[in-house]
Structure 1
Amino acid sequence: MAQRESNPSASVDRRNPATMWNMASGGFSQISIGEPGRIAFVSGQIAAAPGSADPPKDVAGQATLATASLAAALDELKASPQDILMMRVYVVNATTEAFQQVLSALRPLLGDAKPSMTTIGVQALYTPEILVEIEMAVRLP
């Protein structure tokens, strides 16, 4: 039997089937089902914004800035973290510790939302200074 999360404020069904690793304890879901409607795909966000200086040199600092851009995208879409269906996190020369730093930066944004999540280690991103990139798919309310 799948563990299901219910949230009447969002039309997203979250599932962690018993036959799959239960990601709910980590704050994520194996499966996120959005009600029929429009979905926005938010491009990968990095530690950059108009008029910003050089990005922080650490993963945690870059993840914090990328998360702020994700929050701005949700605001633009008039969506909430509960509407996030899927997130992908890319980290250069990834380690478990680096992914944990990114996930810690995402926690304040996500709250109790449990989107589906994929973490991917990569060799490089946009420029050598960029260490973190985060993209998401959002169900439009």
Structure 2
Amino acid sequence: MENLKDLIEKNHLTLSTLVVFTRAENVIHRREMETIKKSNLTPTQFGVLEALYNKGDLRICELIEKILTTSGNITVVIKNLEKDGYIIRSSDPDDKRSCIISITDKGKKIIEDVFPEHINNINCIFNVLTDEEKITLKTILKKFKKLQNQ
């Protein structure tokens, strides 16, 4: 069996790539959350409101898919957003077991207040890259989708 030091040395590029990627992701995520925190919304609440604002009324299963969250978490998020008056729930006329989630005027207002600053913040984060580098990065990162099917 290889000793650990040799194994690390042989895989140095892969390991250091992971470290650099993880550190970058942490910095990006932390900076991205700055504007969301100012709105007193959680990232998931912000995601729900943004999805409803941009996509219109959605079923809970569609929201889960759009904002990449779990069904257990979304139930609490929906309940809290409804309690705060940002969304309303109504029965799905096509499936009585399902609900349609709609954004209220109050929900639209908070997204309209926060989203421009959020977009500006994201632009500031990614301004370290040229447009060409952004395209290259997207192309590279899309390759990791293949791992989902393995």
- Report the TM range for the smaller structure's normalisation: under 0.3
More helix by share: 2
**Structure that is richer in strand per residue:** 1
TM superposition score normalised by structure 2: 0.24
Q: Which has the higher contact order (CA 8 A, sep 6+)?
A: 1
